[in-house]
Amino acid sequence: MKFQGPRGADDVLPNAIPVWRHIEDTWRRLVTQYGYLEVRPPMFESYDLFVRSSGETSDIVSKEMYDFTDKGGRHMALRPELTASVVRAYLEHSLGAAGGPVRLWYCGPIFRYGRPGKGRYRQFHQVGLEVLGSPSPAADAEVMEVAYRFYTALGLRRAKLLVNNIGRFDARERFGEAVLAHVAAWLADQTEEDRARAHKNPMRLLDSKDADLQALLKDGPRIADCLGDESRAHGEAVLERLAEAGVPFEVDPGIVRGLDYYTDTVFEVAAEGLGTSLSLCGGGRYDTLVSELGGQPTPAVGVAPGLERAILAMELEGVEVPNPALDAYLVAATEGARATIGELAGEVRAAGFACLRDLDGKSLKAQFKQADRSGARLALIVGDDELAAGTVTVRDLATGEQGSVPRSEAVARLKGL
RNA sequence: GCGGUUAUAGCUCAGUCGGUUAGAGCGCCAGAUUGUGAUUCUGGAGGUCACGGGUUCAAUUCCCGUUAGCCGCCCCA
């Protein structure tokens, strides 16, 4: 094999397309019901946009950016997330000028230069939405509700909404120091690299997989105790709104997002998989990001579900997605019928149905084999007998039942399915 | 980015203690079946044994490197 596709970027082949379309259609239908409008930002942006939004110390910026210099000498990056692009577009085109919270959704490829593995890709796909301009806890709850309903609509029964409140900057500072103090003895035994990481962002210690550390943190400081009054009130109100909406959730103090821009609400939906739970989407409130990118202070909240993760979760739970069937396969039983089959194909398509026919002069048996493989519901057969009688033989490929209908009624037979 | 592991037909995998033409099952093509997709039988096509280098009389096999997949870590969707 001469060429291989780029590392960590999968080809989505025809047999996987029905699942992808089902997921994308489910999302589109859902967000449309909630009144969100679609935006399609470019796939690359100025490198600095992401440094400004995600934070210089975040892993995404410090080691996972797919960046390059273009022919004009500009430092660009393939987008590692879409929130920054959406906020940039919102500001650049003054989408907030019309007033009211602005609800936007998107869908597309995302790029992160990490080491690929199962469920982790360098090019992957996200759908997502952002509510810009509402400080209300109801906005946080709405975003979580849409995210949760997305997974239930896909047929996932073991998707769990996990919510946390990480407060504002000063609360996190206080909490971080308290955590570092609490685990100081444990940390002294770790590698230099681990220590540096812990000091850079102590919050990350919370979702560590280390059993000793988790045990130690069980009776450690709690973020809830460090929150300011406004954060605490906001967080409680968010949970009330969620409960009112009938969305099941769990408060999980271990939910810590990797992006620096979150304020107060952070959440994810996780699938109970084999072994460690699988993170299906991440989101939260980011009240300081818009002003950070040069706009008027604008409170906002959003979420971004990963599509490859959704597919993985569906596979784990055995969720089936129906394949759209081809309507008919047209079979020429004799050489003399090929021209008529061509005409019939035109009529079938003109009536809005999908059909296939043999191009290569294959035998009757081979044509039936292809008809079977194509997934077509019906075979429309024409040979010398049918030509003489002005009929078409209609065969149900699933049951094997067949009968003769006048040529003029053949296309009508497809409508009954 | 770090550690481990794997790579033989379209797919799942045997195999070669280094030695003539590298195998199986499934799939594919054709025939048995001159107007019918299951099954059965018969025949056939399909491989630079991931790529590059080294050792050797000889490498798909041993060694090194590269690439890609998988597992763990980091991190996340």
- Beta carbon of A310 within 7 Å of strand B? no
Predicted confidence at residue A218, as pLDDT, reads 82
Distance CA A353, CA A407 (A): 16
Predicted confidence at residue A274, as pLDDT, reads 54
Q: What is the pTM of this model?
A: 0.92
| C1’ B70 / CA A209, Å | 21
Residue written as token pair 């450690």: A220
Looking at this predicted complex, what is its ipTM?
A: 0.88
Residues 104-133 of A with CB under 7 A from strand B: 112-122, 124, 126
Distance CA A165, CA A170 (A): 13
- Beta carbon of A204 within 7 Å of strand B? yes
- Beta carbon of A257 within 7 Å of strand B? yes
| C1’ B33 / CA A394, Å | 22
Residues A30 and A128: beta-carbon distance below 8 Å:
no
| Nucleotide closest to residue A124 (CA–C1') | B77
Predicted confidence at residue A310, as pLDDT, reads 96
| Nucleotide closest to residue A268 (CA–C1') | B77
| C1’ B22 / CA A364, Å | 37
Predicted confidence at residue A1, as pLDDT, reads 52
The model's pLDDT over A355-365, given as tens digits with 9 standing for 90+, comes to 999 998 999 99
According to DSSP, the β-strands at A378-382 and A328-332 are parallel
Structure token pair of residue A154? 């896909």
- Beta carbon of A8 within 7 Å of strand B? yes
Distance CA A134, CA A136 (A): 5
Nucleotides of B under 7 A from a protein CB: 1-2, 28-31, 33, 35-38, 48, 50, 67-77
- Beta carbon of A78 within 7 Å of strand B? no
CA separation (Å) from A165 to A56, A222, A224, A252, A263? 22, 11, 7, 9, 8
- Beta carbon of A398 within 7 Å of strand B? yes
- Beta carbon of A376 within 7 Å of strand B? no
Residues A394 and A344: beta-carbon distance below 8 Å:
no
A13: number of Cβ within 10 Å: 7
CA separation (Å) from A305 to A110, A129, A245, A380? 11, 9, 20, 44
| C1’ B75 / CA A288, Å | 24
pLDDT of chain A, 417 residues: tens digit per residue: 578 889 999 999 998 999 999 999 999 999 999 999 999 999 999 999 999 998 877 888 878 999 999 999 999 999 999 999 999 999 999 999 988 899 999 999 999 999 999 999 999 999 999 999 999 999 999 999 999 999 999 999 999 999 999 999 889 888 988 988 888 888 888 887 788 888 888 888 888 777 788 888 888 888 888 899 999 999 999 999 999 999 999 999 888 877 788 999 999 999 976 556 789 999 999 999 999 999 999 999 999 999 999 999 999 898 989 888 899 999 999 999 999 999 999 999 999 999 999 998 999 999 999 999 999 999 999 999 999 999 999 999 989 999 999 999 999 988 865
**Residue among A370, A375, A368 nearest A402 (CA):** A368
CA A333: distance to chain centroid? 47
Nearest protein residue to nucleotide B72 (CA to C1' distance) is A117
| C1’ B42 / CA A362, Å | 21
- Beta carbon of A214 within 7 Å of strand B? no
- Which distant-in-sequence residues (6+ apart) come within 8 Å of A92 by Cβ? none
| C1’ B42 / CA A90, Å | 70
| Nucleotide closest to residue A259 (CA–C1') | B76
Distance CA A259, CA A53 (A): 8
DSSP for A54-120, please give it.
Answer: H-TTSHHHHH--EEEE-TTS-EEEE-S-SHHHHHHHHHHTTGGGG-S-EEEEEEEEEE--S--BTTB
What is the phi/psi pair of residue A103, to 5°?
-105, 120
Distance CA A285, CA A403 (A): 63
**Residue among A205, A178, A201 nearest A56 (CA):** A201
- Beta carbon of A385 within 7 Å of strand B? yes
